[in-house]
């Protein structure tokens, strides 16, 4: 499916917001789901979270962080250009119900994924306390959108340039000490999701995390996205991306994410060399 970029904005250094024309995906998209894109015939397939959708206008919002060759190329695309292939929505949608008090934790680029989830939870009557964070103010994304999607929004920055100084887990600890929520949902860097899960485990609070392993076809055929949950192998693309954080083997996940680090660096090096020539 060829999808035109209708709107493109830079949210932070090397972080881009794309509004893409995709009526069929917009019509079916649910919180927690994602798409897999390919920029050209010889390009790699990469997953991107659906940050928002508008079924009436037939558009979806994607947030792109330049972390590798494909995302760097996508970051250079302009309004009016088209992504050659996009398939979705993929993955099992997040479970949305009236739980009561829910804390949604979004770290860094994970804020894009937590947005639709928080929005849907608030719409069905939950008290949604969102905690978002970044290394510094200039790297914080989607603050206004998260305010609308939350009953209460709290912000943390590592350097104290905005909100509370520290990590999202520092704010979460204060919330847990004050009044236990019925559910915690965390999306962000793997170390952050692990820290959140470790923090809520002693309290017995159900904690869901959205995993981001290596992913290729998005249909469960290749097995690249396998993760260990509760001692069993799960495929994040079809059985996730949401899993019980208290059951996830985060150490194995972090190890597998580094499998192609050397190849990714070489790919970026060749792209840089081409730009210089």
Same domain, 85 and 133: no
- For residue 266, the tally of other CB atoms under 10 A from its CB is 12
Over its length of 277 residues, how does the chain's per-residue pLDDT go in tens digits?
Answer: 678 999 999 888 888 999 999 999 999 999 989 999 988 887 888 888 898 899 999 999 998 888 888 888 888 899 999 999 998 899 999 999 999 999 999 998 889 889 999 999 999 999 999 999 999 999 898 999 999 999 999 999 999 999 999 999 999 999 999 889 999 999 999 999 999 999 999 999 999 999 987 777 777 788 878 899 999 999 988 898 999 999 999 999 888 877 666 766 776 676 665 555 4
* Residues of the domain holding 193: 101-257
38 DSSP β-pair partners: 85
- For the CA atoms of 197, 202, 206, 211, the dihedral, rounded to the nearest 10 degrees, stands at 10
Q: Which CATH number belongs to the domain containing residue 16 in this structure?
A: 2.40.30.10
Same domain, 177 and 82: no
Euclidean distance between CA atoms 5 and 23, whole angstroms? 13
Same domain, 123 and 71: no
Same domain, 167 and 146: yes
| Number of continuous H segments (helices) and E segments (strands) in the chain | 9, 16
**Domains in the chain, number:** 2
Q: What angle, rounded to 10 degrees, do the helices at 168-178 and 190-200 form?
A: 20
Same domain, 134 and 229: yes
pTM of the full predicted structure? 0.86
């Amino acid at each position: 499916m060829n999808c035109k970029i209708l709107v493109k904005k830079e949210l932070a250094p090397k972080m881009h917001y794309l509004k893409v024309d995709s009526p069929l995906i917009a019509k079916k998209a649910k919180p927690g789901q994602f798409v897999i894109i390919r920029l050209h015939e010889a390009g790699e397939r990469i997953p991107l979270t659906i940050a928002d959708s508008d079924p009436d206008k037939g558009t979806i919002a994607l947030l792109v962080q330049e972390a590798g060759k494909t995302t760097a190329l996508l970051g250079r695309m302009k309004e009016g250009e088209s992504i050659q292939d996009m398939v979705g929505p993929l993955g099992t949608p997040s479970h949305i119900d009236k739980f009561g008090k829910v804390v949604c934790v979004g770290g860094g680029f994970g804020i894009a994924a937590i947005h639709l989830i928080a929005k849907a939870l608030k719409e069905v009557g939950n008290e949604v306390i969102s905690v978002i964070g970044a290394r510094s103010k200039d790297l914080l994304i989607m603050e206004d959108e998260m305010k609308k999607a939350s009953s209460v929004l709290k912000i943390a920055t590592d350097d104290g340039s905005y909100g509370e100084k520290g990590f999202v887990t520092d704010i979460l600890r204060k919330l847990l000490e004050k009044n236990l929520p019925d559910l915690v949902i965390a999306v962000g860097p793997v170390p952050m999701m692990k820290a959140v899960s470790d923090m809520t485990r002693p309290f017995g609070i159900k904690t869901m995390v959205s995993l981001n392993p290596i992913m290729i076809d998005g249909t469960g055929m290749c097995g690249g996205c396998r993760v260990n949950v509760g001692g069993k192998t799960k495929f994040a693309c079809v059985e996730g991306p949401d899993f019980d954080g208290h059951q996830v083997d985060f150490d194995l996940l972090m190890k597998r994410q580094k499998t192609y680090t050397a190849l990714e660096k070489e790919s970026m090096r060749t792209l840089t060399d081409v730009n210089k020539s």
